[in-house]
Amino acid sequence: MQNRIAFITGASRGIGRACALALSTAGARVVLAARQPDKLEQVASEIRAAGRDAFVAPMDLASADSIRAAFAKTAKEFGRVDILINNAAITKDGLAVRMKQADWDSVIATNLTGAFVATQQVLLGMMRERWGRIVNITSVVAEAGNAGQANYVASKAGLIGLTKSLAQEMASRNVTVNAVAPGFIDTDMTLGLGPELKERILAAIPLERLGTPDDVAAAVRFLASEEAGYITGHVLNVNGGMYM
């Protein structure tokens, strides 16, 4: 992965931050994208302090113009993107019977359409180079479903379909497209879980613990590596066994 250019969305915290650190440690030069430049700079400083290269590209996945601008900035700096990690996502939970269309639209726009637009920015370059890695971060709920999250589940299930279609389209150019489906990971997103709900979740996980961002980042790092060159269209579950 030495000197590969890796672009990570949602890189300011949680899984995205862990992916940025893991890919950087593996030798990649990382581009950190998210909505909050100050938090991105903190992650970038951490990476630079270890003597590695990090570049900040503020971006809002809900805006196609913002996505294009971030990739244009990256192209000016590096000339290409070799590895794309589509990680950024939002939630706006609620039962379907009462869900506002605005909440449906915003989650789909960010989690699915945003990932698609970001992917479009790198495809031609990867085809030209005849090498590329795209890893989409989906979720265990995309496969198992989850009450109260119809919009989020639909967006993450859509990412699995996008992964498999792109894998078929890009295989002849030596570009692999895979997905990682985390289970319940100990991040800001799960901080609000009450003790009772947390107990119920843990009871459903054979490994009897929440995952860590590093657990997910290790899977991402593998799929982005040379060693994973014969794997494409795959969904790698990182969920402690809660869905098999």
Q: Is 230 a catalytic residue?
A: no
In angstroms, the CA 113 to CA 39 distance is: 24
Return the closest-CA partner of residue 68 out of 128, 121, 123.
121
- Residue 206 burial by CB count (10 A; 0-12/13-18/19+): exposed, middle or buried? exposed
Query: Any alpha helices (H) in the chain, and if so which ranges?
Result: 14-25, 37-49, 64-78, 101-108, 114-129, 140-144, 150-170, 188-191, 195-203, 213-223
Strands 54-56 and 83-86: unpaired
Angle, helices 213-223/14-25, rounded to nearest 10 degrees: 50
- Among residues 152, 176, 187, 221, the one annotated as catalytic is 152
Strands 83-86 and 132-137: parallel
Q: Is 227 exposed, middle or buried (0-12, 13-18, 19+ CB in 10 A)?
A: exposed
Is the CA virtual torsion 148, 190, 70, 216 positive or negative?
negative
For residues 200 and 173, is the Cβ–Cβ distance under 8 A? no
Catalytic residue set? 152
